[in-house]
Amino acid sequence: MHDTGCFLVGEFQFGPEISFERFTELEESLKNAVMDLLGGFGADHMEFTSSGDYLGYQSQAPDLDRQTLTQACLLLIPLLDDGVKGRLVCVRSGFGDVDTVFFSRQGVDLVTTPAP
């Protein structure tokens, strides 16, 4: 992990209204968008997992502020179908705050868990 960076964990959950064929299309476009977006922030070691109605990813990046995290999720929203929701968790090194951005077509919600 970067000395002053963060660990990113994200996921997309697909509702039952998403067909298998559409899931496959969405999965590919979301993977590409996440790689481009987080790569632009200097993220490295991107890893994806998928299972059933779930697509997850994790990466390491230089420290990202709350506004940048929220903006990143706002950029992903146009790619989402109804019934798809996502979250991006940013765990800062050095026992910093943990930010979680929940997002869907209805908007974004940032929740910060302060460091102890």
Query: pLDDT tens across 43-53, in order?
Result: 878 999 998 89
The model's pLDDT over 69-109, given as tens digits with 9 standing for 90+, comes to: 999 999 999 999 999 999 999 999 888 899 999 999 999 99
Q: What is the mean pLDDT of residues 16-44?
A: 92
pLDDT for the residue 67? 96
**CA gap 99, 67 in Å, rounded:** 11
Burial of 56 (0-12, 13-18, 19+ CB in 10 A): middle
> Domain 5-113 is in which class?
alpha beta
pTM of the model: 0.91
Domains in the chain: boundaries: 5-113
Selection from 95, 88, 85, 53 nearest residue 70 by Cα: 88
3-state secondary structure of 44: strand
pLDDT for the residue 4? 63
**CA gap 113, 116 in Å, rounded:** 9
